[in-house]
């Protein structure tokens, strides 16, 4: 592996600006690294020709003195983002041949900042999963190894994005996070991942899963890089009705603030039974490290934490069943029909064949909880409990500035250790879902290794649109933890 | 109350997803596991609580009432499984 691939985004920008290497050289090094790491299954579609064209254009801009803020940085884009002219599948057979005719706002913003796209990253089907095992194009593999050598899941749903950044084959990768799909894979792969506040990044052109929860974010190898990348992605977009009309702050400056005087809340309800002992001690150590830098540690209570998972698994499937109704075998996506079939046959056969097991299950759950006679008992009830969960956070933030919690209850597990029962699987997201329901920003920072030598992440959760404090605390944690990185 | 096969058939029909007998057999336990799990919410007192419909606190914006899109028929049809003369093609729906 070329040393060009091991650099951070900020180091690469410096090297490009000093003419130590060109964008074409940087991109070629990454393309070659991608080709040598195909066994990771990090990409569904590679776009190396496009990447080289973009790199040539980047070098030309730099030569003429018009370099853009992220000019020449090679990244992976999760396959949930529509990319004009580049196949976008959402990890589903349903969209196996879908070539968007338009560009998502987030990827367009990144291209306008000079980013180079290596390809479309693997993911769980329609972002429904915590392992990347529900992808119709095969699993992505975690580049970390356990002593027994069994292939490990990278987490999900943004598993390919996390694997690519951890394996040094992309400098950064976009993700989407509905219930933890950026933070949990970042923790499993030993990298940094941020889901900003709901409304910070435009959802326009992102394939919809659960619209009141979906939010774009970024994977990088450190907090400064995440700050630089997020700055380029975020911003008001009139095309998304829930986009926040707020200026995008200087996140990079916030990484240098430190935590002196900052109140760090420790939510006591997150000490759930069954939590891995290594995870618990890492959490305690993380709080100690922040305290040593001048932060104040306060215990806070989020009484409705235990109800969050059940609330999510009503709301997300309900929204999913509604959003995925658009896949009708008529306008785009898979069509399965035989001569003599009527329109209902066409709908039912296309949808029966196009959706995988987990997506089908969630559509059915969502259809049930929204159906006549059950709507009030399930969906309306869940929306009310969601309000209580959000209220928990606003009350906690009267006593603290950010919250510190584990990202996931365990380190990464092997592909064949993934539970068959969906509810057991959903427990992976127990620490990420509450912040998703409340729409809060959350960042996972690698904080140390488990006894089995696998990365563990800590999560910093902030107030709405206060990513700056999240960056400040995360950067301080990163510095103090001195995470060793992958050997 | 756990779902039975009849209910699953009805939901699948509502969702326009055709399930083979074998897939339906495999689907039922997972659905019941999820619905059993989410049942716990019924014990939470939500009297007087307004439902939260969005994580975004802002009200929806209004925009000027003018055409800002269109003239992109070919792009709209570009991914259609079947199109003809500028239209989507579907099975005959009117006898």
Please report, for chain B, the start and end positions of each structural domain, with discontinuous segments joined by +. 5-42
Give the residue among A379, A309, A388, A394 at the shortest CA–CA distance from B47: A388
Query: Can you give the pLDDT at residue A487?
Result: 65
Report chain B residues whose CB lies below 8 A from the CB of A364: 8, 11-12, 15, 17, 27, 31
> Is A231 a residue of the active site?
no
| Cross-chain CB nearest to B46 (options A328, A351, A381) | A381
Over residues A234-257, mean pLDDT: 96
> Is A260 a residue of the active site?
no
Q: What is the DSSP letter of A206?
A: B
Q: For chain B, what is the mean pLDDT?
A: 92
Integer Rg of chain A from CA: 21
Fold of B5-42: Histone, subunit A (1.10.20)
Cα-based distances in Å from A463 to A242, A270, A435, A483, B58: 17, 18, 10, 26, 16
Q: What residues does A46 pair with on adjacent strands?
A: A119
Question: What are the tens digits of pLDDT across the range A406-460?
Answer: 999 999 999 999 888 888 888 889 999 999 999 999 999 999 999 999 999 999 9
Where does A128-199 show beta strands of DSSP type E?
172-177, 192-195
Residue identified by tokens 């100690």 is: A288
How far apart (Å, rounded) are the C-alpha atoms in residues A340 and A317? 33
User: Among the options A104, A130, A157, A474, which is catalytic?
Assistant: A157
> Is A78 a residue of the active site?
yes
Question: What are the tens digits of pLDDT across the range A323-365?
Answer: 999 999 999 999 999 999 999 999 999 999 999 999 999 999 9
**Dihedral angle of Cα A313, A316, A321, A325, to the nearest 10 degrees:** -160
Per-residue model confidence as pLDDT tens for chain B (95 residues): 789 999 999 999 999 999 999 999 999 999 999 999 999 999 999 999 999 998 877 678 888 999 988 899 999 999 999 999 999 999 988 76
| Cross-chain CB nearest to A378 (options B8, B38, B51) | B38
Query: What's the per-residue H, E or C state across chain B?
Result: CCCCHHHHHHHHHHCCCCCCHHHHHHHHHHHHHHHHHHHHHHHCCCCCCCCCCCCCCCCCCCCCCCCCCCCCHHHHHCCCCCEECCEECCCCCCC
Cα of A271 to nearest chain B Cα, Å: 20
Buried b (16+ CB within 10 A) or exposed e, A310-347: bbbbbbbbbbbbbbbeebbbbbbbbbbbeeeeebebbb
How far apart (Å, rounded) are the C-alpha atoms in residues A317 and A307? 16
Q: Is B55 on the interface with A (CB under 8 A)?
A: yes
Question: What are the tens digits of pLDDT across the range A142-170?
Answer: 999 999 999 999 999 999 999 999 999 99
Over residues A370-397, mean pLDDT: 97
Query: Can you give the pLDDT at residue B59?
Result: 77
Query: Can you give the pLDDT at residue A415?
Result: 96
Nearest chain B residue to A360, by CA: B17
Where does A15-82 show beta strands of DSSP type E?
43-46, 74-78
Question: What are the tens digits of pLDDT across the range A191-232?
Answer: 999 999 999 999 999 999 999 999 999 999 999 999 999 999
Residue identified by tokens 């049930």 is: A368
How far apart (Å, rounded) are the C-alpha atoms in residues A176 and A432? 13
How far apart (Å, rounded) are the C-alpha atoms in residues A64 and B77? 40
Angle at A304 between CA A289 and CA A284, to 5 degrees: 15
Over residues A1-23, mean pLDDT: 94
Nearest chain B residue to A421, by CA: B30
The model's confidence at residue A1, banded by pLDDT at 50, 70 and 90, is: low
| Cross-chain CB nearest to A421 (options B12, B33, B78) | B33
How far apart (Å, rounded) are the C-alpha atoms in residues A176 and A182? 6
Q: Is B45 on the interface with A (CB under 8 A)?
A: no
Query: Can you give the pLDDT at residue B56?
Result: 77
Angle at A166 between CA A115 and CA A81, to 5 degrees: 45
Give the residue among A50, A55, A64, A67 at the shortest CA–CA distance from A4: A55
% residues pLDDT > 90 (chain A): 94
How far apart (Å, rounded) are the C-alpha atoms in residues A123 and A139? 8
Cα of B14 to nearest chain A Cα, Å: 7
Q: How many CA atoms lie within 13 A of A235 on its CB side?
A: 12
What chain A holds in terms of domains, given with CATH numbers, is 3-255 (3.90.1300.10)
Contact A84, A100 (CB under 8 A): yes
Angle at A449 between CA A444 and CA A453, to 5 degrees: 130
Host H or E run for residue A442: strand A442-449
Over residues A101-127, mean pLDDT: 98
User: Among the options A92, A135, A161, A181, which is catalytic?
Assistant: A181
Host H or E run for residue A443: strand A442-449
Contact A444, A376 (CB under 8 A): no
Q: Which of B13, B20, B54 to mutate to test the interface with A (most CBs of A within 10 A)?
A: B54
Give the residue among A442, A78, A129, A378 at the shortest CA–CA distance from B55: A442
| Cross-chain CB nearest to A423 (options B37, B61, B90) | B37
How far apart (Å, rounded) are the C-alpha atoms in residues A371 and B14? 9
Nearest chain B residue to A338, by CA: B91
Contact A2, A36 (CB under 8 A): no
Report chain A residues whose CB lies below 8 A from the CB of B31: 361, 364-365, 368
Report chain A residues whose CB lies below 8 A from the CB of B61: 238, 241, 245
């Amino acid at each position: 592996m070329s040393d060009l691939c091991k650099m951070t985004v900020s180091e690469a920008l410096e090297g490009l600006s000093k003419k130590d290497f060109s964008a074409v050289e940087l991109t070629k090094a990454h393309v070659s690294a991608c080709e040598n790491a195909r066994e990771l299954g990090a990409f569904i579609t590679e776009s190396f020709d496009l990447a080289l064209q973009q790199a040539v254009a980047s070098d030309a801009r730099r030569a003429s003195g018009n370099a853009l803020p992220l000019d020449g940085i090679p990244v992976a884009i999760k396959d949930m983002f529509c990319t004009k002219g580049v196949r976008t599948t959402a990890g589903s057979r349903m969209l196996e041949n879908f070539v968007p005719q338009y560009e998502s706002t987030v990827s367009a913003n990144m291209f306008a900042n000079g980013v180079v796209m290596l390809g479309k990253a693997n993911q769980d089907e329609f972002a429904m999963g915590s392992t990347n095992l529900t992808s119709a194009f095969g699993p992505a593999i975690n580049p970390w190894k356990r002593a027994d050598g069994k292939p490990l899941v990278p987490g999900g749903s943004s598993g390919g994005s996390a694997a690519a950044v951890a394996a040094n084959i992309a400098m950064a990768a976009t993700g989407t996070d509905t219930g933890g799909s950026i933070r949990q894979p970042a923790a499993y792969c030993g990298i940094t991942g941020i889901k900003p506040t709901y409304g910070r990044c435009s959802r326009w052109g992102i394939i919809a899963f659960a619209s009141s929860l979906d939010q774009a974010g970024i994977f990088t190898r450190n907090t400064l890089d995440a700050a630089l990348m997020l700055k380029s992605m975020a911003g008001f977009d009139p095309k998304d009705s829930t986009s926040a009309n707020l200026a995008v702050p200087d996140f990079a400056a916030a990484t240098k603030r430190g935590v002196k005087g900052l109140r760090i809340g420790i939510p006591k309800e997150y000490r759930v039974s069954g939590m891995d002992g290594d995870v618990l001690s890492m959490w305690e150590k993380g709080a100690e490290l922040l305290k040593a830098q001048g932060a104040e540690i306060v215990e806070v209570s989020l009484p409705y934490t235990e109800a969050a998972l059940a609330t999510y698994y009503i709301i997300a499937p309900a929204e999913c069943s509604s959003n995925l109704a658009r896949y009708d075998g008529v306008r785009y996506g898979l069509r399965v029909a035989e001569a003599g079939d009527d329109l209902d046959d066409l709908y039912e056969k296309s949808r029966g064949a196009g959706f995988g097991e987990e997506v089908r299950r969630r559509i059915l759950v969502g259809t049930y909880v929204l159906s006549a006679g059950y709507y009030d008992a399930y969906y309306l009830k869940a929306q009310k409990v969601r309000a209580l969960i959000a209220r928990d956070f606003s009350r906690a933030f009267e006593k603290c500035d950010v919250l510190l919690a584990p990202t996931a209850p365990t380190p990464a597990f092997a592909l064949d250790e993934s539970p068959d029962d969906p509810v057991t699987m959903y427990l992976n997201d127990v620490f990420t879902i509450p912040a998703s329901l409340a729409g809060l920003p959350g960042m996972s920072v690698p904080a140390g290794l488990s006894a089995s030598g696998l990365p563990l992440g800590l999560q910093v959760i902030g107030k709405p649109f206060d990513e700056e404090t999240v960056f400040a605390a995360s950067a301080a944690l990163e510095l103090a933890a001195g995470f060793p990185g992958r050997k | 109350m756990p779902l039975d096969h009849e209910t699953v058939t009805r939901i699948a029909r509502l969702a326009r997803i055709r399930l083979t007998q074998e897939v339906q057999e495999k689907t039922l336990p997972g659905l019941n596991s999820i619905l059993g799990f989410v049942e716990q919410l019924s014990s939470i007192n939500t009297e007087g609580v307004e439902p939260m419909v969005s994580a975004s606190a802002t009200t929806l914006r209004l925009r000027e009432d003018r055409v800002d899109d269109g003239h992109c028929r070919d792009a709209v049809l570009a991914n259609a499984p079947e199109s003809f003369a500028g239209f989507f093609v579907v099975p005959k729906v009117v006898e």
